Amino acid sequence: MQQARAAVDPAFVVAPVGRRLFGSFVEHMGRCVYTGIYEPGHPSADDDGFRGDVLDLVRELGVTTVRYPGGNFVSGYRWEDGVGPAERRPTRLDPAWRTVETNAFGLDEFVRWAARAGVEPMMAVNLGTRGVQEALDLLEYANHPGGTTLSDLRVAHGSPQPHGIRLWCLGNEMDGPWQLGHKTAQEYGRLAAETARAMRQLDPDLELVACGSSSRDMPTFGAWEATVLEHAHDVVDYVSAHAYYQLHGDDRASFLASSVDMDRFIDQVVATVDHVGARLGSDRRIDISFDEWNVWYLQEWQAQEVAPTSEWQVAPRRSEDAYTVLDAVVVGSLLITLLRHADRVTAASQAQLVNTLSLIRTEPGGPAWRQATFHPFALTARHATGTVLDLRLTAPALTTQRYGEVPVLDAVATHDVDERRLTVLVVNRHPSEPVALTTGLRGFGGGTLLEAVVLTDDDLTATNTQDDPHRVEPREHPHAAVVDGELVAQLPPASWSMFVLQVDG
């Protein structure tokens, strides 16, 4: 069995665990909204039409922020269509996903849903087909207390208190030719800066996210961020990053090493952002909002995409990937990467929350259930608290087709001083061989193992379904203990593991 060793010490802190790292994303795409979070007439629905079974799972998941309403959808969105009496709202065509949008669910419903779910709303403004004035109108409607036409309109619509949205995205994936209103970096950078300055004139305390690259593989990657920030560095707080991963053929080793790409993506964006700041002589630190990330079988979806002549539908089933054990292990590894970069990645949004490439699945009029990927997210959100520690790992190399040689293990540790808890999260990337891991705890004077779970399976293609919703779940780790002041564990191949320890400090 291959051997690996890790060391953690409470003195070596990376950054606090930002709770916004555990965000998600609700877009008007497929069935994420309609028959996902919103289904009037469902047996569990409340008076607003929000599915109670989904709300229960969202709370269990531990989501902290939710980005809305897109995504590609936002670049053609008219926010006014989704407010006021539902019977007066217009039905529109959505060119982004070639669907019919009824606008039965809009801004006010989203804010009420977010409050009920206990999450912070993250709102996106349309900078594809609209601009500065529309962003100001939306901000005034949402956040101004009252006494103006737009804020009084919100009050008349049943929301007497301002929504108080603090976190705003300045458009979405404007580097992408597929995006409505796609712009060059110069065009978008100037528009983003103008919009940010205008919004800050209404509320200087907003937190604003400029669009970064929609993929590390974009031909404009790096140059896009640099150009946009030449315009907007002093008026935004974040630059976004988006990344999706999938299994290509039977190359499981590369798929399990997907977080290597995310690591490099983050490091390169940070280097670019800091270079621009240095050139501008600015002391402002721009962080990363990794506000779209997940496993997405995009190539398969694109191959099956509806033809341009197909019938326009309301909320068709779209990208409803049934996630496997292998997908869940990769999601766990991506969360490890986000935590490891908690000093600069201070917001993130898993995409998406329900039905569309989701953590939660539903059936209209029927049940809701947890996908396999739900579990590493929920456990990480629950137990990764306090500060991220600089875990030092010595591990054998694994050779992959896509990323070359990578460490066979991916790991991170968090330390909660108040609770005297140490949490260690580890992924074994090897698709067929176990690895023995020893983690030194000398800086903590040893520890007591409180919880040890592993997510893996003899069948890595196993999924949770409506008929078998508990097929894939974490189980008690069979080979983990604290021995002579060290945590020792045998990590099964293609596995995600979590160890929670009571420590002295």
- C-alpha 421: how far from its chain's center? 25
User: Which residue among 264, 279, 314 closes a domain?
Assistant: 314
Does the pLDDT of residue 310 top 70, yes or no? no
**Structure confidence at residue 308 (pLDDT):** 53
3-state secondary structure of 179: coil
- Residue 177 makes CB contacts below 8 A (sequence gap 6+) with none
Name the nearest CA neighbour of 319 among 353, 364, 277, 291. Answer: 353
Instruction: Give catalytic residue positions.
Output: 173, 292
Please give the Cα distance from 286 to 380 (Å, whole number). Answer: 25
- One domain, residues 299 and 415: no
Give the count of alpha carbons within 13 A of 269, CB side only. 33
Q: Look at residue 377 and tell me if it is in a domain.
A: no
Does the pLDDT of residue 272 top 70, yes or no? yes
CATH of the domain at 166: 3.20.20.80
Please give the Cα distance from 33 to 29 (Å, whole number). Answer: 8
- One domain, residues 83 and 215: yes
Please give the Cα distance from 489 to 4 (Å, whole number). Answer: 10
Q: Look at residue 37 and tell me if it is in a domain.
A: no
User: Which residue among 263, 295, 314 closes a domain?
Assistant: 314
Alpha-carbon radius of gyration of the chain:
23
For 380-437, the pLDDT digits (tens) are 999 999 999 999 999 999 999 999 999 999 999 999 999 999 999 999 999 999 999 9
- One domain, residues 115 and 242: yes
For 152-182, the pLDDT digits (tens) are 999 999 999 999 999 999 999 999 999 999 9
Q: Look at residue 130 and tell me if it is in a domain.
A: yes
Q: Look at residue 355 and tell me if it is in a domain.
A: no
Question: Read out DSSP for 67-110?
Answer: EES-SGGGGG--GGGGSS-GGGPPPEEETTTTEEE--SS-HHHH
- One domain, residues 125 and 216: yes
For 463-488, the pLDDT digits (tens) are 999 999 999 999 999 999 999 999 99
**Structure confidence at residue 304 (pLDDT):** 62
Does the pLDDT of residue 307 top 60, yes or no? no
User: Which residue among 286, 314, 342 closes a domain?
Assistant: 314
Task: Give the pairing of strands 409-416 and 387-389.
Answer: antiparallel
Q: Look at residue 392 and tell me if it is in a domain.
A: yes
- One domain, residues 173 and 306: yes
Name the nearest CA neighbour of 286 among 295, 274, 298. Answer: 274
- One domain, residues 295 and 405: no
Q: Range with the lowest mean pLDDT among 145-154, 296-305, 369-378?
A: 296-305
Q: Look at residue 41 and tell me if it is in a domain.
A: no
pTM equals 0.96
Residue 450's domain comprises: 2-9+388-502
Percent helix, strand and coil across the chain, each rounded to 5? 30, 30, 45
- One domain, residues 101 and 231: yes
For 98-147, the pLDDT digits (tens) are 999 999 999 999 999 999 999 999 999 999 999 999 999 999 999 999 99
- One domain, residues 226 and 91: yes
When divided into structural domains, the chain yields a total of 2
**Structure confidence at residue 446 (pLDDT):** 83
Q: Look at residue 299 and tell me if it is in a domain.
A: yes
Label residue 504 by pLDDT band (50, 70, 90): confident
CATH of the domain at 433: 2.60.40.1180
- One domain, residues 182 and 282: yes
- One domain, residues 108 and 208: yes
3-state secondary structure of 131: coil
Q: Look at residue 140 and tell me if it is in a domain.
A: yes
Does the pLDDT of residue 351 top 60, yes or no? yes
Do 351 and 449 touch, CB atoms closer than 8 A?
Answer: no
Contacts made by residues 52-57, CB under 8 angstroms, sequence distance 24+: 53/362, 53/367, 53/368, 54/354, 54/360, 54/362, 54/368, 55/113, 55/116, 55/117, 57/360, 57/368, 57/370, 57/374
For 22-65, the pLDDT digits (tens) are 999 999 999 999 999 999 999 999 999 999 999 999 999 999 99
